[in-house]
Amino acid sequence: MQNHQNDTKKKVKKFPDSPGVYLMKDKADKIIYIGKATSLKNRVSSYFTGALDNKTAALVKDIDKIVYKETDNVMEALILEANLINKFTPKYNIKLKDDKSFVNIIITNEEYPKVLITRPTDKKKIKSKYIFGPYLSKWEAEKVIGLLVNIFDYDSSQENKTTNLYRRYYMKGYASGKVGDISKKEYQKIINNIKLFLSGKKEMIIKKIEQGMKQDSKEMKYESAAIKRNQLFSLNHIRDTAFIRKDEMLKNKYEKFPLRAEAYDISNMSGEHSVGSMVVFSLGKPDKNEYRKFKIKSVAGANDVAMLKEVFERRFTHQDWQMPSLIIVDGGLGQKNVARMVLKNYNLNIPIVAIAKGPDRKGEKLFSSSPRGYIFPDIEFIKKMRDEAHRFAISYHRKLRSIKN
């Protein structure tokens, strides 16, 4: 037995240092576990080094051989893993069936379908036409949907920017009733491409888009051909960094911390060098690559509420930024109301909490707005994010002042 494991270890050392999916089989050649990897070599080697928990030790004991399939990127490994688990239901993956963190991606059965995330334990009855998964985390599934919507609902025209934004919010289930100036046929093309990609048929999509681009060029439809060219580029350059996170981030429970919380603050001195800040915490941890700063452009004088309105309007025109699951603002009722007003303009229903110093600047006072049944994280987390947004805004404000002086 030990010799066999040593042979397996040697074979694993020759695995490629690239993304992909690995399939572990027992002596009867039955698949007992399927996993994905950023590096097949490093991930599979980890099963044969160091201390293992009981479940993993039992798995390793049952392994007779390991095969793998390389993918072009981590996202495709994630999708392939989900599809293979669904197809083979390996015994060491079965626990996912009862795991609350396991989710599906579905395409709804309606005139203008949406691409949504659901859990098997969800009580909501959503009519789905196609179901994909299981996916191990909601965070990963959201990333997949966001990237695919951005690739296939592509339009470089600036005049349609707001229309496209509303449609993407609708498509991802954040808003209702606005699909913009698009025919049912064109909308269905977007959904069909997403369905094909989630089914692991990227090559079929690429071939179809290439044929369409050649036809557009023949007919001198250069704008349409350029859109297809950009789609092809995006399909061939999906960034792995969007799916790689530290293990500690994944170990946090989604129930305790918001998937993505954004906190905002305004900093100015008598209306001069006014700036806004946006800080992001993913599952309770600062995600500094997602921090953003805003130099106020449209507001003269010291009007924090109007400045916050500008910041929100600029933030929600960015189609490529992930949607927050909670918004925190430094301020009181005015700040909460302006945040709510901007979200309403975009047909968004995201929980908001404004946090202000209490009377005599003692204690904290909260002003909130949220869907029925939403449970806000504890006050210490809200304060921590508020303080970080304040720190980030002040540092940017000081920087602008020093440059001016």
pLDDT tens digits for range 276-289: 999 999 888 899 99
Among the three residues 39, 70, 98, which one is the final residue of a domain in this structure?
98
The neighbouring-strand residues paired with 31 are: 25
Give every residue of the chain whose pLDDT is below 70, as ranges. 1-5, 50, 95-101, 121-125, 155-163, 175-178, 239-256, 270-272, 319, 358-363, 372-373, 401-405
Q: What's the pTM value of the predicted model, to 2 decimals?
A: 0.66
Q: Three-state DSSP class for 208?
A: helix
Spell out where 162-290 has E strands.
260-269, 272-282, 285-286
Spell out where 202-284 has E strands.
260-269, 272-282
Q: Are residues 58 and 13 in the same domain?
A: yes
Here the CATH number for the domain that contains residue 278 is 3.30.420.340
Establish if 182 belongs to a structural domain: yes
Question: Closest by alpha carbon to 283, among 261, 305, 309, 298?
Answer: 261
Tokens of 70: 């390389």
Establish if 290 belongs to a structural domain: yes
Domain count of the chain?
A: 3
Residues 6 or more apart in contact with residue 115 via CB below 8 angstroms: 105, 106, 107, 108, 145, 148, 149, 171, 172, 173, 191, 194
Residues 6 or more apart in contact with residue 386 via CB below 8 angstroms: 263, 265, 328, 330, 355
Q: Are residues 92 and 138 in the same domain?
A: no
Establish if 326 belongs to a structural domain: yes
pLDDT of residue 242: 59
pLDDT of residue 273: 76
Among the three residues 179, 209, 242, which one is the final residue of a domain in this structure?
242
Among the three residues 46, 63, 98, which one is the final residue of a domain in this structure?
98
Q: Are residues 214 and 137 in the same domain?
A: yes
d(CA 118, CA 123): 10
Establish if 103 belongs to a structural domain: no
pLDDT of residue 25: 95
Q: Three-state DSSP class for 331?
A: coil
Q: Are residues 238 and 114 in the same domain?
A: yes
pLDDT of residue 84: 96
pLDDT of residue 24: 96
Residue ranges making up the domain that contains 21: 2-98
Here the CATH number for the domain that contains residue 34 is 3.40.1440.10
Q: Are residues 236 and 122 in the same domain?
A: yes
pLDDT of residue 405: 54
d(CA 144, CA 252): 20
Q: Are residues 121 and 63 in the same domain?
A: no
pLDDT of residue 391: 93
